[in-house]
Every structure is written in structure tokens, then in C-alpha cells.
């Protein structure tokens, strides 16, 4: 499911859905034995946050945004950054020379931000 969001390739979503359908009965009967599969099901049924961080690796402003993304428990998210050539990063740029975060759901994004507290509000706020 994460690969489907990162690459915008529906084949990954279909493959994940197929596995979840195969495991439906065993997950229902023996949930303690299928914790990872249940996590995947939760991700599949949720509206995961898609986060693109655009900034210089190791720079203080980039690291501040990354801390906000990874400190709270937000299991249903995908995060992309760096020089990867993936759809989530396409046409994303820094604003005013500062590291910038884009928070999206289904590739529809909020206004970009360079403010860690605004990013926190976007991530923790309801969709």
C-alpha cells in the first residue's frame, strides 16, 4: 500500500488488496496471529497522510520538519524526500529558500508549510 501511494501505481494497491482478501478469514479467526496484516488492513481502510519534505538533507530546517513527522505515533503515513523521482515529490519546491512540507491525502495537498508547528497541526488534525 505504501508503494502504491509513493509511486501512484495501482498494481501495488491491487496486490495488497489481494493479499488482504486471502487473509480475511484467518485474520478474523486468529487476530493475535495476524497483527501485521491487521495493521496493513487499517492502512488500506484509512486515508493515509502523504508527506513530501523538500529541503537539503541534514539542514536544520529540514531536520525540524522531519522530527515533527516522525515523533508522534502516526502509523498510516508515507513520507518522501530527497532526490527520488516519485509522483509524491513531483513539482514540489522549497518556499522562500526554506525546507518545505506538503501534506496530502489522495494526492490532494494542503498549502505547503515551512513551519514545524503548522505541519504538526496538519498531521494531527482530522481529515
For the chain, helix (H) and strand (E) counts, in that order, are 6, 4
Model pTM greater than 0.85?
Answer: yes
Over residues 22-49, mean pLDDT: 96
In tens, the pLDDT along 69-98 reads: 999 899 999 999 988 788 989 999 999 999
Over residues 15-44, mean pLDDT: 96
d(CA 127, CA 125): 6
Domain spans of the chain, in order of start? 2-45, 49-124
d(CA 28, CA 30): 6
112-116, Cβ contacts within 8 angstroms, sequence gap of 24 or more: 114/61, 114/65, 116/64, 116/65, 116/67, 116/68
d(CA 108, CA 16): 22
Assign 38 a pLDDT band (cuts: 50, 70, 90): very high
**pLDDT computed for residue 127 by the predictor:** 44
Assign 9 a pLDDT band (cuts: 50, 70, 90): very high
> Please, are residues 107 and 80 in contact by the beta-carbon 8 Å criterion?
no
Total length of the chain: 127
Amino acid at each position: 500500500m505504501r508503494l502504491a501511494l509513493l509511486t501512484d501505481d495501482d498494481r501495488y494497491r491491487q496486490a495488497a488488496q489481494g493479499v488482504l482478501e486471502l487473509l480475511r478469514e484467518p485474520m478474523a479467526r486468529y487476530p493475535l496471529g495476524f497483527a501485521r496484516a491487521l495493521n496493513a488492513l487499517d492502512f488500506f481502510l484509512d486515508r493515509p497522510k502523504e508527506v513530501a519534505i523538500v529541503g537539503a538533507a541534514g539542514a536544520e530546517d529540514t531536520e525540524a520538519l522531519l522530527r515533527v513527522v516522525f515523533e508522534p505515533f502516526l502509523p498510516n503515513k508515507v513520507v518522501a524526500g530527497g532526490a527520488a523521482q516519485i509522483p509524491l515529490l513531483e513539482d514540489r519546491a522549497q518556499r522562500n529558500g526554506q525546507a518545505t512540507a506538503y501534506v496530502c491525502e489522495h494526492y490532494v495537498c494542503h498549502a505547503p508549510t515551512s513551519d514545524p508547528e503548522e505541519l504538526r497541526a496538519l498531521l494531527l488534525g482530522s481529515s
